[in-house]
């Protein structure tokens, strides 16, 4: 199964489950969870069902395009169901069958792997899903976001598209994945991976990145304190990417790390406050 076909099939499957299919969110994020399609929508009581591909940039994970399994940017397929469907695990397994996997011939394990992210003040309980020993999905019940207990909780299903494609195509090297019948993953992305890593590890200017972090933080706080959510949250995500670049450069001390994470979490809390206050105002729902 080609990489692009894998995406089409997952979109088709989750559309049939009632999900809105959205395009990838168009800003650097380290995971699909940071997309406003997830973080801002798991807050409050309004139901939400969405599925989307999310390019996820993690500068510290890059290896100049030389490691067959490590990438600066990988692709996640993100599904959010709020409130959760009772038989969601069974539906997830059906999605694997939709990809052509004969589950009786493979070992599927749900291994407890509770999740949290300090930047968003978010956590949940869940599992990593392993297919014949390979982790292919993270399955999480979101319980807290921005320090707020969620009611209802949401279920988040995050497929690792490259890993799934490698398994389905029996490849040992991510760059050998067939994107379609004529083009490989490496044709499209290997040079990009190399150059992003050169920048992240060797050429980025730490002084500039620290300055950008400060400016993005200041602008995010200014806008969010005026109750303007979307651009304010976008500036929080810019802070996060600047932080990730600094982390890859190895220039953040332990004390700076905790301080910067706390500052980003404050912005996440301001964002959440706007979402929840709007719900009370416009939907007549109680906190």
Q: Which of 201, 220, 249 is the last residue of a domain?
A: 201
Q: What is the mean pLDDT of residues 99-122?
A: 94
How much of the chain, in percent, has pLDDT values that exceed 70? 98
d(C-alpha 276, C-alpha 287), whole Å: 7
Residues 259 and 192 in one domain: no
CATH number of the domain where residue 16 is located: 3.30.930.10
Residues 213 and 271 in one domain: yes
d(C-alpha 6, C-alpha 216), whole Å: 36
Residues 31 and 127 in one domain: yes
Residues 6+ apart with CB under 8 A from 85: 17, 91, 155
The answer on pLDDT for 282 being more than 90 is no
Residue 189, CA distances (Å) to 13, 67, 74, 114, 276 in order: 27, 13, 10, 32, 40
The answer on pLDDT for 179 being more than 50 is yes
132-143 pLDDT tens trace: 999 999 999 999
The pLDDT of residue 248: 97
Which tokens is 28 given?
């650097």
- Among 137, 199, 191, smallest CA distance to 163 is for 137
Q: Which of 172, 201, 230 is the last residue of a domain?
A: 201
Confidence at 280, pLDDT banded by 50, 70, 90: confident
* Residue numbers of the domain that contains 122: 3-201
The pLDDT of residue 284: 57
- Among 276, 266, 243, 257, smallest CA distance to 60 is for 243
Residues 28 and 163 in one domain: yes
CATH number of the domain where residue 249 is located: 1.20.58.180
- Among 230, 208, 245, 283, smallest CA distance to 30 is for 245
The pLDDT of residue 287: 42
Residues 99 and 12 in one domain: yes
CB of 24 closer than 8 Å to CB of 255: no
* b/e 129-163 (16+ beta carbons within 10 angstroms → b): bbbeeeebbbbbbbbbbbebebeebbbbbbbbbbb
Q: Which of 201, 230, 259 is the last residue of a domain?
A: 201
Residues 213 and 156 in one domain: no
Residues 108 and 239 in one domain: no
Residues 6+ apart with CB under 8 A from 233: 36, 40, 220, 224, 267, 271
The answer on pLDDT for 176 being more than 60 is yes
Residues 188 and 56 in one domain: yes
194-220 pLDDT tens trace: 999 999 999 999 999 999 999 999 999
Residues 187 and 259 in one domain: no
d(C-alpha 130, C-alpha 116), whole Å: 20
The answer on pLDDT for 281 being more than 90 is no
Residues 147 and 232 in one domain: no
The pLDDT of residue 283: 66
Domain count, the chain: 2
Residues 23 and 89 in one domain: yes
Q: What is the mean pLDDT of the chain?
A: 96
The answer on pLDDT for 285 being more than 80 is no
How would DSSP label each residue in the chain? Answer: --HHHHHHHHHHHHHHTT-EEEPPPSS--SSGGGSTTTTTTSSSSS-EEEEEEEEEE-GGG--TT-STT--SEEEEEEEEEESPPTTHHHHHHHHHHHTT--GGGS-EEEEE--EEETTTTEEEEEEEEEETTEEEEEEEEEEEETTEEEEEEEEEEEEEHHHHHHHHHT-SSGGG-BSSSS-BHHHHHHHHHHHHHIIIIII--HHHHHHHHHHHHHHHHHHHHTT-HHHHHHHHHHHHHHHHHHHHHT---HHHHHHHHHHHHHHHHHHHHHHHHHIIIII----
The answer on pLDDT for 147 being more than 90 is yes
pTM over 0.85, yes/no: yes
The pLDDT of residue 286: 44
Q: What is the mean pLDDT of residues 165-178?
A: 98
d(C-alpha 215, C-alpha 79), whole Å: 33
Residues 220 and 162 in one domain: no
């Amino acid at each position: 199964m080609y990489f692009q076909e894998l995406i089409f099939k997952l979109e088709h499957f989750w559309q049939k489950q009632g999900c809105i299919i959205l395009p990838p969110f168009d800003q650097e994020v380290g995971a699909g969870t940071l997309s406003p399609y997830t973080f801002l929508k798991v807050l409050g009581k309004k139901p939400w069902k969405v599925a989307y591909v999310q390019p996820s940039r993690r500068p510290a994970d890059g290896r100049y395009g030389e490691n067959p399994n490590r990438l600066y940017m990988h692709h996640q397929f993100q599904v959010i169901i709020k409130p959760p469907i009772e038989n969601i695990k069974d539906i997830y397994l059906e999605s694997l069958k939709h990809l052509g996997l004969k589950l009786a011939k493979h070992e599927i394990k749900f291994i407890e792997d509770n999740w949290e992210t300090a930047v968003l003040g978010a956590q949940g309980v869940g599992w990593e899903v392993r297919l014949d020993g390979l982790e292919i999905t993270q399955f999480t019940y979101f319980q807290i976001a921005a320090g707020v207990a969620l009611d209802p909780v949401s279920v988040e299903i995050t497929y690792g598209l490259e890993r799934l494609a490698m398994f389905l195509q029996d490849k040992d090297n991510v760059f050998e994945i067939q994107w379609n019948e004529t083009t490989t993953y490496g044709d499209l992305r290997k040079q990009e991976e190399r150059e992003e890593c050169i920048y992240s590890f060797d050429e980025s200017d730490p002084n500039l990145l620290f300055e950008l972090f400060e400016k993005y933080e200041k602008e995010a706080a200014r806008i969010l304190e005026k109750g303007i959510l979307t651009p304010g949250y976008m500036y929080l995500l810019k802070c996060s990417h600047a932080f990730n670049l600094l982390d890859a450069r190895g220039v953040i001390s332990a004390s700076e790390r905790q301080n910067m994470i706390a500052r980003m979490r404050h912005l996440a809390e301001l964002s959440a406050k706007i979402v929840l206050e709007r719900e009370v105002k416009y939907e007549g729902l109680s906190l």
